[in-house]
A and B are shown apart, each in its own frame.
Chain A
């Protein structure tokens, strides 16, 4: 349904946008199957209301938000972000949401909190990929992602509840998902039920399945190739058909260098990929 929002003027100039139907029908969400069309086909009955998002761990004020609160507790703004998948395709998406930092500050993290761990809903009855290793691509469920606390507090990080002016479709991670635009898409965990502040680095799902291919940081980096394919350029999924497909160079930090490069000063990005 429609979501009331304002436009964040800093993030309005991105063209062309990926058409809505492509964002709705081309997804990686292995909880519903490994095919790009599976989430669209098998997530439509997914129930997002009632929902519970818990923020706990090393915080002074743990928070629990229900479905209603996810959409109304914070001012929703629209931001047009580039999205770069580790599989070397990309989209331009008009997200709706609020900054993760706002929520984390509300929970007031303790001084020993260093990392943020995110967890997707585990419900094999609703998510066919969680009930069978063959459907779910052999991942360990529930899906887990993590950020360093300073990364998580960066104003670019969005908790998204919608796109194209409407609440999220299940296949896009309804009711609430993470968007970290300078990292590969798999960091942007979907359908979150738990945000936990910790003092140890969480092991994210893809790192667990293949640590030599997918790291903790997963910053978009044209210089550091995936062991099996180049990350120097990407296929942009935009308007138009097969022959309109275009390949464009991949930008360091997916083009958000100015905002985030300082987070990684002195870090060897070839080693910490």
Chain B
């Protein structure tokens, strides 16, 4: 059975509802002082993980659409991806505002000096580029380049997962789960990575 237009609309409504609830939930935790003694750190982790979760869900869409022959599902990628960027922006904002107190030089130093911060920043830049180019007019103008650009999301998810792994002091179980999901999703795109490697090898031999 094919998913109908109404079905798609309800799926979108569900995504908005879930995102809004997540936001309200976080807001409530803040209001009630329920984030523990170091709420800034908690918030940063919560927002970062939410962004990563959205990124992973976004990457589930294409394989699902193909597997169940539901091309309409593809339309969910944009809304999910934009929400992912939204959470990533909040993650970054809370870090710069509440943690670093707008010490912009310290922020710049950290991004350059700390590999996990560099990866986080790179991920954010990729998400920014994808979000801007998700506007229909731009998308049409970019033609084939759009596809090339939007495939960098595969790199973004890899960077984001390593960024998460490097940010924890110890304890491997959660990062391992995230890596497992990440690699499962990337395995669906092995053709892309194969051709990427081939392209890279060719360039090198020239």
Seen from chain A, the residues whose Cβ lies within 8 Å of a Cβ on chain B are: 18, 21-23, 25-26, 30, 34, 36-37, 87, 89, 134, 137-139, 209-210, 225, 228-230, 232-233, 235, 237, 241-243, 245-247
Is B98 in contact with A243, judged by CB distance below 8 angstroms?
yes
A245 touching B98, Cβ below 8 Å: yes
Are B30 and A242 in contact, with the CB atoms below 8 A?
Answer: yes
User: Which A residue's beta carbon lies closest to that of B166?
Assistant: A228
A34-B36 in contact given A89-B41, A242-B30 (Cβ < 8 Å): no
A residues less than 8 Å from B173 (CB atoms): 134
Do B171 and A241 have beta carbons less than 8 Å apart? no
Across-interface contacts of B115 in A (CB, < 8 A): 228
Q: For A232, give the chain B residue with the smallest CB separation.
A: B106
B residues 156-201 in Cβ contact with A at 8 Å: 166-167, 169-173
Known pairs A34-B170, A241-B39, A242-B39 / 11 extra A-B pairs, C-beta < 8 Å:
A34-B171, A36-B38, A37-B36, A137-B170, A138-B170, A139-B170, A228-B166, A242-B30, A242-B33, A242-B35, A242-B40
Chain A residue with Cβ nearest B173: A134
CB distance from A143 to the nearest CB of B (A): 13
Q: Chain A residues near B106: list those with CB within 8 A.
A: 230, 232-233
Q: Please, how many angstroms separate the alpha-carbon atoms of A247 and B172 in the complex?
A: 29
- Is there contact, CB below 8 Å, between A228 and B98? no
Question: Does B69 sit within 8 A of A, measured CB to CB?
Answer: no
Whole-angstrom CA separation of A246 from B100 in the bound complex: 9
> Within the complex, what minimum Cβ distance (angstroms) separates A36 from chain B?
6
- Interface positions, chain B 17-56, Cβ under 8 Å from A, are 30, 33, 35-41, 43
- Once the chains are docked, how many angstroms separate the CA of A138 from the CA of B109? 31
B101 on the A face (CB < 8 A): yes
Question: Are B35 and A36 neighbours in the complex by a CB distance under 8 Å?
Answer: no
The answer to whether B114 has its CB under 8 Å from any CB of chain A is yes
Given contacts A138-B170, A209-B170, A242-B30, contact A228 B116 (CB under 8 A): yes
The answer on a CB contact under 8 Å between A247 and B100 is yes
Give CA–CA (A247, B113) in the complex, Å: 20
**CB-defined contacts of B99 to chain A, threshold 8 Å:** 235, 245, 247
How many pairs of A and B residues are in contact by the CB < 8 Å rule? Answer: 71
A230 adjacent to B38 (CB under 8 Å): no
CA distance A13 to B43 in the complex (A): 32
> Chain A's nearest CB lies how many Å from the CB of B126?
22
CA distance A23 to B36 in the complex (A): 10
User: Which of B103, B115, B169 is the most central at the interface, judged by chain A CB atoms within 10 Å of its CB?
Assistant: B169
Chain B 147-160 interface mask (CB, 8 Å, partner A; 1/0): 00000000000000
Chain A's closest residue to B42 (CB) is A36
Contacts of B116 in A (CB 8 A): 228
What are 7 sample pairs from A and B whose C-beta atoms fall under 8 A apart? A89-B38, A134-B173, A137-B170, A228-B114, A228-B116, A229-B114, A235-B41
Residue from the list A138, A237, A241 in contact with B172, Cβ < 8 A: A138
Contact between chains at A25 and B36 (CB < 8 Å): yes
On chain B, the residues within 8 Å of A134 by CB distance are 173
Complex-state Cα separation, A241 to B40, whole angstroms: 10
Contact B39 A245 (CB under 8 A): yes
Contact A237 B171 (CB under 8 A): no
Q: Which chain B positions have C-beta within 8 A of A30?
A: 170
A91 to B99, CA, bound (A): 16
Report A-chain residues with C-beta under 8 Å of the C-beta of B114.
228-230
- Min CB distance A75 to B, Å, is 31
How long is the Cα–Cα vector from A209 to B37 in the complex, in angstroms? 27
Docked Cα-Cα span, A230 to B100, in Å, equals 11
Complex Cα distance, B167 from A228, in Å, reads: 8
B30, B103, B110, B170 — which one has the most chain A CB atoms within 10 A of its CB? B170
B80-110 vs A: 1/0 string, CB under 8 Å? 0000000000000000001111010010011
Q: In the complex the two chains form, is A242's CB within 8 Å of B36's CB? A: no
Interchain CA distance A21-B109 in the complex, whole Å? 35
> Which residue of B98, B101, B167, B171 is within 8 Å of A242 (Cβ)?
B98
Closest residue of B by beta carbon distance from A89: B38
* Complex CA distance for A237 and B33, rounded to whole angstroms: 13
B38 A137 Cβ-Cβ under 8 A: no
On chain B, the residues within 8 Å of A210 by CB distance are 170
Q: Rank and list the top 5 A-B pairs by shortest CB-CB distance, nearest first.
A: A26-B37, A22-B37, A242-B39, A137-B171, A137-B170
